[in-house]
A and B are shown apart, each in its own frame.
Chain A
Amino acid sequence: MESCVSSSSFSSGQNAVAANVVTDVSPEQSVDPEHWLEAHGNYLFRYAFSRVNSRELAEELVQETLLSAIRGVSGFEGRSTVRTWLVGILKNKIIDHLRRASRKESKEVLTDEDDVLDRQFNRLGIWSTIFGDWARDPDQVLEQKEFFRTLEGCLRKIPERSQRAFMLKTFENTDSDEICKILNISASNLWVSLHRCRLALRECLDKNWVKAGGRS
């Protein structure tokens, strides 16, 4: 059975790299799909996992990305690096996944069982706990790997559905209107979602960052 990843898949003639020419190109720059899994698979996986928080789903997304890339390799004009191009495809796959998932799931997605708002504020609307001042020197905090380790742990703790909007906004710099279309939510749903996510992250950092001996 012919492998569709063979280098002869390049005879479209668009690419300067002919099938058997030995080049000085590193595996990461190679436009030969055979190298892509080895050179970029892990990076794409980590990128995807950082967004969807599921190994299984991240693997699927990597596979779909590479498949699309192989099929569309003639569209790679070398204007960016191979990796940048692959990540671009991956981002679209992630968005497609979110679009599908958001429509399949019930609309109750935005109300938590354990409502972060009711937990953090008492009946008078005042903070139910006092918290410390760990953001007094933000530049200093942002220099600490431990902080990011804790933040990433917190991001993994929050249910994936609750952080989609936050993820799209901060990690992918997606426009608000676009986020609403992708996730099939209204603008006010969006603000509520972002707000809840921030409250949850802040609370988690409060518990785990300070306790881990984090310096403010």
Chain B
Amino acid sequence: MGTEQNPPSNHSHDTSGLSSWLHCGVSLMSCRQYSELASRKLDDIPLSLPQRVQYAVHKVLCLMCRRFERQIALIERAALRYRSQPMPETEVALGAEAKDRIRSALTRCGSSPNGSND
């Protein structure tokens, strides 16, 4: 997916556990990367262990990404309603003209199961 710069590194000697662990040679996952993994999870693609770790950490830290994940899960659930059926709220219909066109084409088809009649 495109590249982006790593977030600016934190040069302070912060010894609080989580912070120093995160910066220990591990680049922080960006929202863009997170969003891609969230999509893959919906497609049941297994993530590698490093991916899963970074994913979990980013999720805790990032409100927008948590929302994003909920929202695409909702979209996926909603889209399942259309499985094997037309979209209920879309009001389109086969017009009379179109029906006539189709009817003519069907009657012209000339290849009934028993072949054309003489």
Contact = CB atoms under 8 A, between A and B. Distances in A.
B31 A126 contact: yes
Interface in A64-99: 66-67, 70-74, 87
Interface in B21-36: 30-33, 35-36
Contacts of B45: 191
B117 interface: yes
A59 B82 contact: no
A127 B64 contact: yes
Interface in A47-70: 47, 49-50, 55, 58-59, 62-63, 66-67, 70
Interface stretch (B9-17, B46-54, B87-95): B87-95
Contacts of B99: 37, 41
B94 A170 contact: no
Interface in A168-216: 169-173, 176, 191-192, 194-195, 198-199, 201-202, 205-206
Contacts of B2: 117-118
Contacts of A195: 1, 35-36, 39-40
A76 B89 CA distance: 31
Contacts, number: 196
| Size bracket, chain B contacts | 35 or more
Contacts of A171: 79, 82-84
A37 B100 CA distance: 10
A106 B73 CA distance: 31
A5 B112 CA distance: 7
Interface in A131-147: 131-136, 138, 141-142, 145, 147
Say whether chain A's binding surface is mostly helix, strand, loop, or mixed. helix
B44 to A, nearest CB: 9
Contacts of B103: 37
Contacts of A5: 106-107, 109, 112
B70 to A, nearest CB: 4
B94 A123 contact: no
A131 B64 contact: yes
By size class, the interface of chain A is 35 or more
Given A62-B102, A149-B89, A198 B75 contact: yes
15 contacts: A4-B112, A12-B113, A33-B106, A37-B99, A63-B102, A71-B109, A118-B2, A125-B5, A135-B74, A145-B89, A149-B89, A151-B78, A151-B79, A170-B80, A201-B72
Interface of B: 1-2, 4-5, 7, 30-33, 35-36, 39-40, 42-43, 45, 64-65, 67-68, 70-90, 92-94, 98-99, 101-103, 105-114, 116-117
Given A62-B94, A135-B74, 14 more contacts: A3-B107, A37-B106, A49-B86, A74-B113, A118-B2, A125-B31, A127-B64, A127-B68, A138-B73, A170-B76, A170-B80, A171-B82, A201-B75, A202-B72
